[in-house]
Amino acid sequence: MCLTLDLAGVPTAIPYDMVRVGESCGIVFEMVKADVVGKKMMNEPERFDEYAKKYAETFRQIHTISLAGKGLPKTHKKAAVESA
């Protein structure tokens, strides 16, 4: 699924393993060296507007990507399968 999202233009970390701990499952992603936007805004208040604009642009990019016909399950269908 992450490859599909990546090819569609959604910025995403690359998964490389699935793990199980007790009854829970998880995905291990590549290490991404990045700063938290909120922390950068607090540590560099003079660049607040710049970071806010970049943050908004990233979310706009993510929310304008169409995944119709990309083979991803609808969330409600996936939830029904997982709860069965």
Do the domain assignments include residue 44?
yes
* ∠ Cα 40 61 59 (to 5°): 40
Do the domain assignments include residue 84?
no
pLDDT digits (tens, 9 = 90+) for 60-70: 888 887 777 76
> Is the four-CA dihedral 16, 21, 26, 31 of positive or negative sign?
negative
CA 11 to chain centre: 7
Do the domain assignments include residue 19?
yes
Contact 13, 30 (CB under 8 A): yes
Mean pLDDT of the chain: 79
What pLDDT is attached to residue 62?
A: 81
Q: How many domains would you assign to the chain?
A: 2
Domain shared by 18 and 5, yes or no: yes
Domain shared by 2 and 29, yes or no: yes
Closest CA relative to residue 28, chosen from 37, 20, 18, 36: 18
Instruction: Give mean pLDDT, residues 13-42.
Output: 87
Which pair of structure tokens corresponds to residue 53?
Answer: 């604009």
pTM: 0.54
Which pair of structure tokens corresponds to residue 19?
Answer: 């793990």
User: What is the domain extent for residue 4?
Assistant: 1-33
What pLDDT is attached to residue 79?
A: 47
Do the domain assignments include residue 78?
no
